Structure 1
Amino acid sequence: MSSRAIVVDAPGRHRLVTGERPEPGPGEVVVRVAAAGICMSDREVYHGHRDPGYVRYPLTPGHEWAGTVEAAGPGVDPELVGRRTVAEGFRTCGTCERCRHGETSLCTAPYAETGFTHPGGFADHVVVPARLLHPLPDDADLSAAALLEPAAVVAAAVRAGVPEPGERIAVLGAGTLGLLAVQLLSSCSPGELTVIDPRFERAELACHMGATEARTPELSHDVRGHFDLVVETAGAPSTAADATLLARRGGRVVLTGMFAPGATGIDPVHLSLSQLTVRSVFGASSAAWSFAVRAYVTGQLDPAALITHEFPLDRYADALALVGGGDPKTGKVLLRP
């Protein structure tokens, strides 16, 4: 059986290759990919802007994906074949102190992640350890399920923020992470749920998804020091510092966006005088994945509403160009192998 895959040989160079379907090794499964999302991290990989310690060329990218188990390797329950599924991206060791403590996103083994160091979902098939699977119901929408990876990251942020009913909450950024955060946070019965984003179209969509108010960054100065919890999702140069200014004294801030070198630093004087609790999130633990999958299966999370474009695998270049192109009407872009 043949199988196609996008291969990025080096920054700025890619090709579509066709070969034999990969075979699963012990403890592994082969998943036929139904849909794979493209995010800004995939652009960083393609253009060579990702930290060299977190990517390995040549590479088949794609860390946001969903599909159906097609084959099981030795030692894997054959009942998994035919199941719709997603899978955790971090290939954790499961034995280090942090993994044993349940903090799998802090695994101390050498970094390994599907789509960055191991072949990912921009392909007809992907091979992953069966222990990382999160099986889905038989009627699950696999296009929507492809967004469960960013949803798991958001779930990690929400869990870290510990929202309580009636609290004043702000989400900084209305991209994919921000809109998923709005959906999860709205289910916590906040007293206020404000979204801050310069793009009117994105902010308007956030209000349809559960936000009680939308503001531009310029209009956010009036609410500085107002929020019990601020979830930052944009990863823009100033948004980490902005998030700490939005929180009330004694409030909580969770940084979820991926920042580039040169981002504005957080004022340590403000941080200490305001007695803020600041957390950051990189990836998602197994518990956060379970949280996101449960929210999706029970209908608290509707990732399908974020999808605006779908492309076949051979139009990878067109799809990648659309992501990060600046059009506020562009939401999540999927590849459909």
Structure 2
Amino acid sequence: MTDAALAFTGPKTVEIREADVGEPAAGELRVDTRASAISAGTELLVYRDQTPSDVPVDETLDALDGEFSYPLRYGYAASGVVDAVGADVDSDWIGRSVFGFVPHQTRFVAEPDDVVTLPAGTPPAVGALLPSVETATNLVLDAAPRLGERVVVFGAGVIGLCVTRLLASFPLSSLVVVDPVERRRGLAAAMGADRTERPETVDDAVGDADLALELSGQPDTLDDAIGAVGYDARIVVGSWYGAKRAPIDLGGRFHRDRIDLISSQVSTISPSLRGRWDRDRRFDEALGWLDRIDADELITHRIPFERAPEAYELLDSEATDAVQVILAYGES
């Protein structure tokens, strides 16, 4: 059986290349991929050549090594079915639906401890959204929303929508989501936002918020977040801007109003939480929220793996209203 993997080979260029997966070693299992989720944040930075060249891809994931340079196999959200096991792995694994933090490819091998068994009945495409839910969980832990707070979320992509669903479970005074795309604002309302706004109306509609989360992926949106919060407020920055830059006004009320900027990134847990939280606990919490978030509603496009270049062209289009794009491998 010939396997294939997606490779970023240059700016705005992806290719499907042959991959030699082979049989699993004694302590490994092999997974037949059924779906993988494209990250419209980090993966578009790779696609557009907007990643810093001296930054490691991800030192916490064994499947992702090296630095951001072409050619690069990238991706971290694949789900499928175990189709073979090595001599030292229990045969009960065969047929089990699992998730792995691996790049986009038709099959992959991994050790049992490096995959996650998905709850029974979880569609592969929904299982592939698990990293987004985990990231949202980390963001909410870092944001630490409090009773009666006024909260505004900038960006209603997949991460922003998952964050909105989690925040909607808190007894907040108000939850506002800001995004330029009508379809995304509609999804934000369905996820529990009290109100949605376009970026051009946010100054009039949102002010004196206690907490803002900047999840748009656009560095200039940080200025909007600063303008939307009040004295002694918190802004959690979950976006990774890569090589993108924008002038941010830190010379005005930001300084005198004692506004906190908090960086949140899923590879680590805040030092203030590490006494009680570790990655396993956070991941278990995210897994429990996977079905409650109604993740299937976030999937707007399913594109066959062999047509992957079309998926990136779609996400790169300024006119797109795509939210989550899934690469489908056979049954998904």
| TM-score, normalisation: structure 2 | 0.82
* 1:159 equivalent among 141, 147, 155: 141
The equivalent residue for 1:144 is 126
Q: Superposition pairs for residues 182-201 of structure 1, below 5 Å?
A: 182-201=164-183
> CA, structure 1 residues 328+12, in 2 after alignment: closer, same or farther (shift >3 Å)?
closer
Paired residue type of 1:67 = G
Cα offset for 1:28? 4.4
> CA, structure 1 residues 13+209, in 2 after alignment: closer, same or farther (shift >3 Å)?
closer
The equivalent residue for 2:193 is 211
The equivalent residue for 1:86 is 99
The equivalent residue for 1:303 is 295
Cα offset for 1:336? 0.6
Q: What's the % identity of the aligned pairs?
A: 27
Q: Superposition pairs for residues 275-294 of structure 1, below 5 Å?
A: 275-285=258-268, 286=279, 287-294=281-288
Q: Deviations over 1:38-94 (max 9, x none)?
A: 23322332343222233254333322222223344576555444322223x4xxxxx
Q: How many residues align?
A: 304
Moved more, 240-249 or 67-76: 67-76
> CA, structure 1 residues 66+307, in 2 after alignment: closer, same or farther (shift >3 Å)?
same
Can you give the 5+ residue segments of structure 1 that lack an aligned partner in the other structure? 90-113, 115-119
Question: Equivalents in 2 of 1:46, 1:198: separation in Å?
Answer: 22
Q: Superposition pairs for residues 96-175 of structure 1, below 5 Å?
A: 114=102, 120=103, 122-175=104-157
Question: Equivalents in 2 of 1:69, 1:249: separation in Å?
Answer: 53
| TM-score, normalisation: structure 1 | 0.80
Question: Equivalents in 2 of 1:13, 1:227: separation in Å?
Answer: 41
Give the 3-state SS of the residue equivalent to 1:323 in structure 2: helix
Q: Deviations over 1:160-219 (max 9, x none)?
A: 011234321111111111111111111223221101112223212211221010112222
* 2:321 equivalent among 295, 310, 329: 329
> CA, structure 1 residues 322+13, in 2 after alignment: closer, same or farther (shift >3 Å)?
closer
The equivalent residue for 2:253 is 270
Residue 258, structure 1, aligned to residue 249, structure 2 = no
> CA, structure 1 residues 165+78, in 2 after alignment: closer, same or farther (shift >3 Å)?
farther
> CA, structure 1 residues 245+74, in 2 after alignment: closer, same or farther (shift >3 Å)?
farther
- Contact 1:225/1:249, CA 8 A, preserved across alignment: no
Cα offset for 1:139? 0.9
Question: Equivalents in 1 of 2:106, 2:148: separation in Å?
Answer: 46
Paired residue type of 2:123 = D
Cα offset for 1:228? 1.8
- Pairwise CA RMSD: 2.5
Question: Equivalents in 1 of 2:214, 2:74: separation in Å?
Answer: 25
Can you give the 5+ residue segments of structure 2 that lack an aligned partner in the other structure? 58-67, 269-278
Cα offset for 1:269? 5.3
> CA, structure 1 residues 74+289, in 2 after alignment: closer, same or farther (shift >3 Å)?
farther
The equivalent residue for 2:273 is none
Q: Deviations over 1:244-294 (max 9, x none)?
A: 222222222111112143223351653342223321123344244332211
Moved more, 140-149 or 275-284: 275-284
Give the 3-state SS of the residue equivalent to 1:63 in structure 2: coil
Cα offset for 1:17? 2.9
- Contact 2:82/2:98, CA 8 A, preserved across alignment: yes
Moved more, 68-77 or 201-210: 68-77
Compare the two structures and name the one with the higher helix fraction.
1
The equivalent residue for 2:64 is none
Give the 3-state SS of the residue equivalent to 2:37 in structure 1: strand
Residue 16, structure 1, aligned to residue 8, structure 2 = no
Residue 70, structure 1, aligned to residue 83, structure 2 = yes
